[in-house]
Amino acid sequence: MKELNCPKCTGKLEPVTCHDIEVDRCVNCKGIWFDSLEAEILKKIKGSENLDIGDPEIGSELNQINDDIYCPRCGAKMVRMLDIDEYSIWYEKCFECHGVWLDAGEFRQYKHNFQPRGVLHRVKRMFRSQKDIPNPVF
């Protein structure tokens, strides 16, 4: 099998298994490569956030890279995506093999964004978003 390298810092990616799902984590920056649907599956599994052992500050610094980012699996140019929720997360997605790259600290945030929330949380969020809408002038 081909050795995978980090699309951000070029460090070696090592396989890490969580609940029988193998992902690849960078030995240097601790970013995580998820093959197609692995992040979707793992976000629903209790304790899977323990895969994300990296420093979110390093992940945040790596988000500042403006160069093209290439898929560690197939080599295609990845697209920078934005997930807007409680935590805004910039991540990279490969539209060829459908893998996803999350920098250190982002999987914890990604997983948190998809946690089921009660009615009270939704009402607070609704009022918070309405507060940001300027009053119309007649």
Secondary structure in 3-state letters for the chain: CCCCECCCCCCEEEEEEECCEEEEEECCCCCEEECCCHHHHHCCCCCHHHHCCCCHHHHHHHCCCCCCCECCCCCCECEEEEECCCCCEEEEECCCCCCEEECCCHHHHHHHHCCCCCHHHHHHHHHHHHHCCCCCCC
User: pLDDT digits over 71-86, tens only?
Assistant: 999 999 999 998 877 6
Average pLDDT of the chain? 86
Residue 24 confidence (pLDDT) above 60: yes
Mean pLDDT of 31-41: 96
Task: Label residue 133 by pLDDT band (50, 70, 90).
Answer: very low
